[in-house]
Amino acid sequence: MKYSNEKIVKALLLSPLPLLFFTAVLFIVMNQEYSLYSILVVLVGHGLVYLAYCILTVPFSFIFSILLNRYNSLNLLTICIASIIIATPFFILFGWSHTGEISKEWWKMYTDTWTIFMALFPG
């Protein structure tokens, strides 16, 4: 099945919103911070995460999706594989920016189930 470019872009831009909303609500509830300031800080933080997603991963995901759509191979499995491929360098750079070094066994981050879910759901 062929998809139009507009549908692919809409899908890429809208796909992380439910997960981001769920994590924002969960973060607010778990910290028991219900003041307006705390809620706005959490929403702005999640908005920045969404902005980074739109700037860093959507262009690469769009290119993969266009190529897969051209060969009628755009399905859930190929989207998940492309998500992991795209998320890997960003997770490595994110870890490097926090610790100052790249782990010698960086591939072990994908043995953690939550890391795999973080790579798959937004992609």
- What is the residue extent of each domain of the chain? 5-120
Cα gap 3→88, rounded to integer Å: 26
CB 106 within 8 A of CB 95: yes
pLDDT tens sequence across 71-120: 888 887 777 777 777 777 877 777 778 778 777 777 776 777 777 776 66
Q: Phi and psi dihedrals of 12, rounded to 5?
A: -65, -35
pLDDT score of 41: 93
